[in-house]
Amino acid sequence: MEEIYVSEVMTKNVTACSPDTAIKDVIKILSRNSISSLIITENDEPVGIITERDLVAIMEEMLNDIARDHLPIVHFMTSPTLTIHSHITLREAVRFAIDKNIRHLPVVDQNNKLIGLLTQTNMVRSLSYIVFTLTRKSS
Say how many Å lie between the first and final Cα of the chain, rounded. Answer: 17
* Within-domain flag for 46: yes
CB-CB neighbours of 129 under 10 Å? 12
Mean pLDDT across 56-80: 78
| Predicted confidence band of residue 58 (pLDDT cuts 50, 70, 90) | confident
Mean pLDDT of the chain: 88
CATH code at 129? Answer: 3.10.580.10
How far, in Å, CA of 31 to CA of 11, rounded? Answer: 18
- Predicted TM-score (pTM) of the model is 0.80
> What domain count does the chain have?
1
Spell out the residues 6+ positions from residue 125 whose beta carbon is closer than 8 angstroms to its own. 9
pLDDT at 91 over 80: yes
Query: Could you give the angle at the alpha carbon of 125 between the alpha carbons of 52 and 119, nearest 5°?
Result: 30
* Within-domain flag for 1: no
| Predicted confidence band of residue 65 (pLDDT cuts 50, 70, 90) | low
Tell me which of 7 and 135 has the higher pLDDT.
7
* Within-domain flag for 94: yes
Provide the residue range defining the domain that includes 113.
6-138
- Sort residue 44 into left (φ over 0), alpha (ψ -120 to 50) or beta: left
